[in-house]
Structure 1
Amino acid sequence: MKKIIWILSFSASLLALPFAAQAAGGPGIELEPAHNNLRHADSLQRGAVLFSNYCMACHSAKYMRYNRIAKDIGWSDEQVVSQMAHGLNKVVDEVQTRMLPGVAMDVLGTEPPDLSLMARLKGTDYIYTFLRAYHQDENGNWDNTVLKGTSMPNVLEGIQRHASSEDYAQAARDIANFLEYVGEPAKMDRMDLGWKVIAFLLVLLLLTYVLKKEYWRDIKH
């Protein structure tokens, strides 16, 4: 029985590792919880539109295609071309930045990273906190408390200035939610299947233990 308890404890610790990794945004950074929900289709759709409108001027998500996004978040092919691509791309195209080659170095001094795996690298709490961490100094210049000196402008400035604090937070949350989906489109399917597999293995473990006890019942130790 002690072995079974140890195995269960070890399994639980392994399951907790991805969540612990996601919570780590870096040394000395206090992250706000995003509280995003991958099962919330409306949030994913809003996030896709916000990503298109505010992020794709510089960033891409090149490991995704428009038709895959449409299938997963509840859009038709026509809707994703209209809502995200704005008629500029085909539904089978990869989600690429709209910035022309070479412009980023001239304007920003660096090449903006592809955001396909950003949520897996940094976590949604980091993305949510980063988007909301912009502030103006005494000279009116924007900076970010999470990544000081970032060359990325405050893309949500318009929402921050003219919308309510709840809408501003929701916009950042929706973008973080969409980027988590982009980082692992099959995550919900994997998690749903994972618990079923673990439940099956636990039942199998119990049956194996009972069978072992039955085999050794008449054997003296």
Structure 2
Amino acid sequence: MKQFLLILSFCMLSLSASVQASGGYGITLEPAQNNLRDQDSLKRGAILFSNYCMACHSLKYMRYNRIARNLGWDEDAIVAEMAYGQSTVYEDVTTRILPGVAMDVFGTEPPDLSLMSRLKGTDYIYSFLRGYEQNEKGEWENHVLKGTAMPNVLEGIQRHSSEEEYAEAARDITNFLDYVGEPSKIDRLDLGWKVVAFLLVLLLLAYLLKREYWKDIEH
């Protein structure tokens, strides 16, 4: 029985490693290696998202003033940088495309990207943005999501910038979407270490108290 459980555990670990390596999508994903503590990257990602993604996609669960507060932006600056003065700082980050146009052009409605990083993961987003390749006919295809209706929005950067600059642009957008998916993630992680430290101190005190209670009892 013990041997069976050991073999089963080994198989489950191997399967888990395989799924993680492929991102669970049957493909190999590039590691995004984004850093939520890099505010310069987050600001660049916000501007890139505005320039290349907001023509079709929204972030309906985010307001401009929340982004400004978290990323250390002046409220007037973020309206100028991301909304080009077309929205107030209290509004949600919404697409600029008119209703019904996307369906006519792409045959589908572009999804809201507020929770995309939590749904798909940062490696998927990064790999998708960098997954466009041209076929023999000169048409763009994405090997991460076959048949996607989304065009290669970073084509200009891909063609006219270095590989490092292209990768950085994709990483900055991924980083920003990771932040949007859970704006309090850094606070949660920082608080988590404090909670663990508190519980360890509490465990030590409980152990010492237990020894004090039981030191005179024979057992």
User: TM-score, normalized by length of structure 2?
Assistant: 0.89
SS in 2 for 1:27: coil
Equivalent in the alignment of 1:70: 68
- Matched letter for residue 200 of structure 1: F
Q: Kindly provide the CA deviation profile for residues 83-125 of structure 1, in whole angstroms up to 9, marking residues without a partner as x.
A: 0001111111100011111111111111111000001111111
> Which residue is equivalent to 1:215?
213
Preserved CA contact (<8 Å) 1:44 1:73 = yes
Alignment of 1:167-206 (within 5 A): 167-206=165-204
Distance in 1 (CA, whole Å) between partners of 2:113 and 2:21 is: 18
Task: Work out whether residues 62 and 116 of structure 1, in 8 Å CA contact, stay in contact via their aligned partners in 2.
Answer: yes
| 1:26 shift after superposition | 2.4
2:88 to 71, 87, 90: 90
RMSD: 1.4
Gaps of 5+ in 1: 1-20
Q: Percent identity at matched positions?
A: 73
Letter in 1 for 2:187: D
Aligned twin of 1:18: none
Distance 1:56 1:22 in 2: 30
Taking a change above 3 Å as real, the CA distance of residues 22 and 171 of structure 1, as seen in their structure-2 partners, is farther
Q: Within 5 A, what are the aligned runs for 1:1-221?
A: 25-221=23-219
Q: Is the 8 A contact 1:23 1:123 kept in 2?
A: no
Count of matched residue positions in the alignment of Structure 1 and Structure 2:
201
Unaligned runs of 5+ in 2: 1-18
Deviations, residues 147-183 of structure 1 (Å, cap 9, x unaligned) = 0110111000000000000000000000000001101
Change (3 A) 1:22 1:43: farther
1:22 to 1:183, Cα distance in 2 relative to 1, 3 A: farther
Give the conservation status (yes or no) of the 8 Å contact 1:124–1:180: yes
